[in-house]
Amino acid sequence: MTKAHYPIPASPAQTEIVVRGSRFIAQAIPTPTVEAARAAIAATRAAMPDATHHCYAYLIGYGSSTIAGMSDDGEPAGSAGRPILSVLRGADLGDITVIVTRYFGGTLLGVGGLIRAYSDATRAVLAIVPRTQRVLYQRVTMHIHYADYTMIRRLLEAHAAIIVEEAFAADVMMTVNVPVDRLHAVRQQIEEMTGGRAHLEPVTSVI
């Protein structure tokens, strides 16, 4: 079952730790899609082309409905991407990419040291990233009589629905994004208010 809303980063955050001379620059970036995650990673590579490694992990979606990805980017296998992802999974956030960029400081850290460094850098940036909620919507259309228009608009506003489009002809055709956790109540109340004259028809999957 799709969760109606879940926590996501409100905006990007960045911080840095230094471990035995190596700089670990950690970024947490809101990424609602895998394409957005890949774009964020590419932008980081372009912004810091002289860095030694750009290791990352991302979670798109939330809870049991996530797409995950990670990369060690040349670090020993399992020493970077996996610890970043492990910390990220415990952060109670969705739609997020964490990129940890390393500038090598001349001292080898070993696999254990790398795991600690990448984990600590990820925790540091997650501690400062601002949070908000992503609300999931179902887009619907409905044809309504002019006599019902005002009360239906008020009902939609009361349920935090977003009116996308209205077309005025013989009747009013409305396209509306309804929060998925309000959909059943909105459908029931509109049918009761209009005596069954108006019906909600889904036109997209959850957005």
Q: Which tens digits make up the pLDDT trace of 9-61? A: 999 999 999 999 999 999 999 999 999 999 999 999 999 999 999 999 999 99
pLDDT at residue 93 greater than cutoff 70: yes
pLDDT at residue 2 greater than cutoff 80: no
The reported pLDDT for the residue numbered 1 is 42
According to DSSP, the β-strands at 172-179 and 201-206 are: unpaired
CATH class assigned to 5-133: alpha beta
Strands (E), 31-75: 53-62, 65-71
The reported pLDDT for the residue numbered 11 is 96
Q: Work out whether the CA dihedral 106, 112, 116, 118 comes out positive or negative.
A: positive
pLDDT at residue 4 greater than cutoff 60: yes
Q: Where are the domains of the chain?
A: 5-133, 136-206
For residue 202, the cross-strand partners are: 140
The reported pLDDT for the residue numbered 38 is 97
Confidence of residue 91 (pLDDT cuts 50, 70, 90): very high
pLDDT at residue 206 greater than cutoff 80: no
The reported pLDDT for the residue numbered 155 is 95
- Averaged confidence pLDDT in the chain: 93
Architecture in CATH of 136-206: 2-Layer Sandwich (3.30)
Q: C-alpha angle 178/58/14, rounded to 5°?
A: 100
pLDDT at residue 126 greater than cutoff 70: yes
The reported pLDDT for the residue numbered 205 is 65
pTM over 0.75: yes
Q: Give the position of tokens 């997020």.
A: 96
